[in-house]
Amino acid sequence: MHGDGAGYSPRKTAAALTYLHGFGNEHSSEAVPGALPEGRNSPQRAPLGLYAEQVSGTAFTQPRADNRRSWLYRVRPSAAHPALTRTDNGALASAPFTAEPDPNRMRWDPLPEPAQGTDFLAGLWTLGGNGDAATRTGMAVHLYHANAPMERVFGNADGELLIVPERGGLLVRTEFGLLAADPGEVLLVPRGVRMRVEPLDGTARGYVCENYGHPFRLPELGPIGANGLANARDFRAPVAAYEEDDDAAREGGVEVVTKYCGNLWRAVYDHSPLDVVAWHGNHVPYVYDLRRFNVIGSISYDHPDPSVFTVLTAPSDTPGLAGVDFVVFAPRWLVGEDTFRPPYFHRNVMSEYMGLIEGGYDAKTGGGFVPGGGSLHSMMSAHGPDRATYERASTVELAPSKVEDGLAFMFETRWPVVTTGRAVTAGHLQRDYDGVWRGLERHFTGG
Ligand code: FE2
């Protein structure tokens, strides 16, 4: 499909991909030699008869350190499209979320298998979020479960998409070129960048953080120093690749769906919008392998707050207070002496949605937190190790040990996560999550 001809295999295509390296770099790439103008962005006539177009992910005037934009050199300009009309949002919802905020701790099993023929966009299911898509604040938590390639193209004006595959890989064709991610890797697709998503293995399932606010960036490292956590060089951007003589276009058009202020709109183009022959800039998609994360932890006692596991942070207007952080609990050694080593009991002003990519999670050894499922602990909701974990970790003889069979993550946001109606009526919402903290015994010996 899509120009790859007979015998097409998304796995084979993914295996052959090459990438550019480095988060935030001024990347450039051309699929045809000479397509990229030299020394200027917008020559009187762009090379090879291409149209020059800038896509701005930040306001023109934002500081250099924050500024994101790319120049695209395309067969036809993005402006060449007919009027957009509303189309069904499916199970995709956007902020503002208007349900009454619920302080209860919640946990979900994985989404049920969707109907055959469900593509990535149709398979998006919104759990909740905060802020407002139109004022570019806050975030949303979505899950996806897809079993068919997208024939249509999707672009999101409302924010960037951090895609976290959990089961099955994805091949993503973007305006900037192709990326592939298997479980354990994550994809970051910037605001407005059009894409077509295809399961690598027939079916694909995972999580999406939609960030309406400032784009994700690498966290500051402070006293950690110049290296560590997610290293910039491990983020991979695509090389330019374009669709022109596209099957769908030949057969009467390409459906392009745009999410705009919370709703889906569609138009049928007479060409593929993935027709960018060359580009340069820093508003580009990335893939990152979470197993490359350099985990920092205590080598004396206690364990640091989980902010030390931040992969990417989307700052808000208040320094140090993220619109959303993406945090990973990756394999790591635990060596703390006289320390309760799993995540401690806590109440957090920030709100935490957690998911599991593979294996287990060291705060929940009593079962129920499974790959593809998730949990939500919103503002000040008390949580921490389940009873089984507490009993074991508070009595076990401490020796160096390795947490190595799990990959969990967290979307942590400064505002409470308000759930959608479907998230609290869904059959996969666990009905007695509070029970994991039931029966924590009274050990007090002072009175
Ligand atoms: Fe927590």
* Same domain flag for 109 and 248: yes
pTM for the whole thing?
Answer: 0.97
| Total number of domains constituting the chain | 2
pLDDT score at 5: 66
What's the gap in Å between 282 CA and the centre of ligand 1? 33
Ligand 1: centre distance to CA 384 (Å): 6
User: What is the spatial distance between Cα 305 and Cα 310, in angstroms, rounded to a whole number?
Assistant: 10
Tell how far the Cα of 413 is from the centroid of ligand 1, in angstroms: 11
Q: Are 61 and 103 within one domain? A: yes
Q: What is the pLDDT of residue 447?
A: 75
Protein residues within 5 Å, CB atom, of ion ligand 1: 352
Q: Ligand 1 centroid to 302 CA: how many Å?
A: 16
Check which CATH number belongs to the domain holding 422 and give it.
2.60.120.10
Decide if 40 is inside a domain.
Answer: no
214 is catalytic: no
Quick one: 316 and 379 in the same domain? yes
At 405 the three-state DSSP class reads coil
Give the per-residue pLDDT at 367.
82
3-class secondary-structure state, position 25: coil
Residue 64's domain comprises 10-33+48-289
Nearest to 279 by CA among 12, 54, 8, 14: 54
Q: Which of 2, 145, 214, 303 is catalytic?
A: 303
Tell me the pLDDT of the chain (447 aa) as tens digits.
454 567 899 999 999 999 999 999 999 999 999 999 999 999 999 999 999 999 999 999 999 999 999 999 999 999 999 999 999 999 999 999 999 999 999 999 999 999 999 999 999 999 999 999 999 999 999 999 999 999 999 999 999 999 999 999 999 999 999 999 999 999 999 999 999 999 999 999 999 999 999 999 999 999 999 999 999 999 999 999 999 866 656 678 999 999 999 999 999 999 999 999 999 999 999 999 999 999 999 999 999 999 999 999 999 999 999 999 999 999 999 999 999 999 999 999 999 999 999 998 877 777 899 999 999 999 999 999 999 899 999 999 999 999 998 999 999 999 999 999 999 998 899 999 999 999 999 999 997
Could you give the CA distance from residue 17 to residue 169 in angstroms, rounded to a whole number? 14
pLDDT computed for residue 1 by the predictor: 43
Residues 370 and 251 in one domain: no
Residue 340 has a pLDDT of 96
Q: Does residue 152 contact residue 196 with C-beta atoms inside 8 Å? A: yes
What ranges make up the beta strands (E) of 276-426?
A: 276-281, 286-289, 310-315, 322-329, 332-334, 351-359, 374-377, 401-403, 406-413, 418-419
Other CB atoms within 10 Å distance of the CB of residue 228: 13
pLDDT of residue 155: 98
Helix/strand/coil for 424: helix
The token pair that represents 397 in the structure block: 């003889």
446 within some domain = no
Same domain? For 131 and 181 the reply is: yes
CA of 352 relative to ligand 1 center, distance in Å: 6
Last residue of a domain, one of 255, 270, 289: 289
